Chains A and B, each alone.
Chain A
């Protein structure tokens, strides 16, 4: 074999290996103790306005209609379940959905923010994914940036009268990809490359996560479409209960 061929084989095996051990990167959680104290505090503070907005909207909803309490709690448990479900993948590795796209479509982005931080805390406690000090950074990428991007894409696509299924697909896809970009950015800011600084490091993290994240985002998009079709077929009432098509987050009327 020529040396070039050997190199190609090495490269391919690295790719295959990284796809094989997908669980490690698929969920995109930043692990406990990974970020320096400065960034722990910075990302935590950045989350506060979003969480406060989520908290107040939650409080208002509950004052208006107490019944939503159990529904919202179920929504949180459902988000946790979605993120721990093993999704079908070709390589036989186990990968997880982030569920943030679907969550944002169903429950609205600001609600997902406040539920997201609880879900992330439980993931750290029960699944050893993520951590306490990195909770701020993880919340920002997975429970704030991703859902808001997904929701924005969904609203824009609906305005442009794009086919509904395409809307769902694009929303989940963009939500996932945006989460992945934000996490890469967070890592790049904390660990700038020696030779090229933050931007080089950002590209590096993007490249490292790309082989697992891009196919995953596509699969998540497809699964979101299938789930939404299933819901539209069998659960029209429940969807309108969640205020789905009206665009109101959760608005229960007796």
Chain B
């Protein structure tokens, strides 16, 4: 639990992300007030929203999606606005840089509408590509918001159970269930090893840091293989027959939610028709 707290506290800076972030996203899902909603419903709502953002490819639809998803996460799910911003800052920086690359071109000749002389070549762009860049950014951001709505309110094990309902092969589901659990074990292991390396001045300069990194990575693999054997024996001892079955809360889909989703999708289509 301590690690989880550190993760949230550490993610206060707006740009740049801490590496305990993964703990916090999962933790937010458990704390969320939307946690009792039906997971299948949430996953499908997110998927439909993302697909509509992509297929309709409309600026106003995307803006509306961003607003609706922010409302769901901040008001309905009860996530602190500051925490929400810090979670969204990672995809935000990703997107900003990636879309900048789409908006601008490099050329040896001033061939665009707007040219910036950089000595050996020109940074060129046009109003059209700037607009295109803006639309792409908003579309992507809307899709990311929808995805975040899902991940910030639905725990990973529930998402896996939805995949199981969608008939993803059993082996893959089993692997996912195990990988999900092992990730946390390995992360804790890594934190411990890093701490002891720090305590022994393992990161005093670049050379030593590289050496420490390599040793930790190698060591974790060795320990993880040993653990894998222990877990296998433990599972066999408990009659593992190739399929995990977890006791899951039965979360009913409420009529209000279905109605809300239908109105939402209808509204997106109306916006699309109106601004086409």
Residue of A nearest to B211 (CB): A226
Interface residues on A, range: 35 or more
Q: Which of A16-39 contact B (CB under 8 A)?
A: 18, 21, 23-25, 29-34, 36-37
Residue of B nearest to A212 (CB): B97
Q: Tell me whether B167 is interfacial, beta carbon within 8 Å.
A: no
Q: Tell me whether B98 is interfacial, beta carbon within 8 Å.
A: yes
Q: Tell me whether B174 is interfacial, beta carbon within 8 Å.
A: yes
Chain B contacts for A118, CB-based, 8 A: 172, 175-176, 179
Contact A81 B190 (CB under 8 A): yes
Using known A-B contacts A70-B232, A204-B106, determine if residue A128 contacts B217 with beta carbons closer than 8 Å. Answer: no
Interface 1/0 per residue, A99-123 and B, CB below 8 Å: 0001000100000001100110110
Q: With A and B bound together, what is the CA distance between A24 and B55 in angstroms?
A: 26
Interface residues on B, range: 35 or more
Chain B contacts for A93, CB-based, 8 A: 16
Contact A128 B87 (CB under 8 A): yes
Chain B contacts for A33, CB-based, 8 A: 50, 53-54, 139-144
Contact A31 B105 (CB under 8 A): no
* Cβ 8 A contact of A74, one of B93, B101, B217, B225: B225
Chain B contacts for A59, CB-based, 8 A: 171
Contact B221 A106 (CB under 8 A): yes
Q: Which of B39-92 contact A (CB under 8 A)?
A: 47, 50-51, 53-55, 57, 87-88, 90-91
Q: With A and B bound together, what is the CA distance between A133 and B146 in angstroms?
A: 12
Contact B210 A222 (CB under 8 A): yes
Interface 1/0 per residue, A48-80 and B, CB below 8 Å: 000000010011001000110111111011101
Chain B contacts for A32, CB-based, 8 A: 50, 91, 140, 143-144, 147
Query: Closest approach, in angstroms, between the C-beta of B270 and any C-beta of chain A?
Result: 21
Chain A contacts for B187, CB-based, 8 A: 81, 84
Query: Closest approach, in angstroms, between the C-beta of A130 and any C-beta of chain B?
Result: 9
Using known A-B contacts A55-B169, A128-B90, determine if residue A227 contacts B126 with beta carbons closer than 8 Å. Answer: no
Chain B contacts for A81, CB-based, 8 A: 183, 186-187, 190, 220
Q: With A and B bound together, what is the CA distance between A88 and B112 in angstroms?
A: 40
A residues lining the B interface (CB < 8 Å)? 4, 7-8, 10-11, 18, 21, 23-25, 29-34, 36-37, 40, 55, 58-59, 62, 66-67, 69-74, 76-78, 80-82, 84-88, 90, 93-94, 102, 106, 114-115, 118-119, 121-122, 124-129, 131-133, 187, 191, 193-196, 200-201, 203-205, 207-208, 219, 222-223, 225-231, 234-235, 238, 241-242
B residues lining the A interface (CB < 8 Å)? 15-17, 19, 21-22, 25-26, 47, 50-51, 53-55, 57, 87-88, 90-91, 93-98, 101-102, 105-107, 111-112, 117-119, 124, 126, 128-129, 136, 139-144, 147-148, 151, 156, 159, 169, 171-172, 174-176, 178-180, 182-183, 185-187, 190, 203, 206, 209-215, 217-222, 224-225, 227-229, 231-232, 235, 242
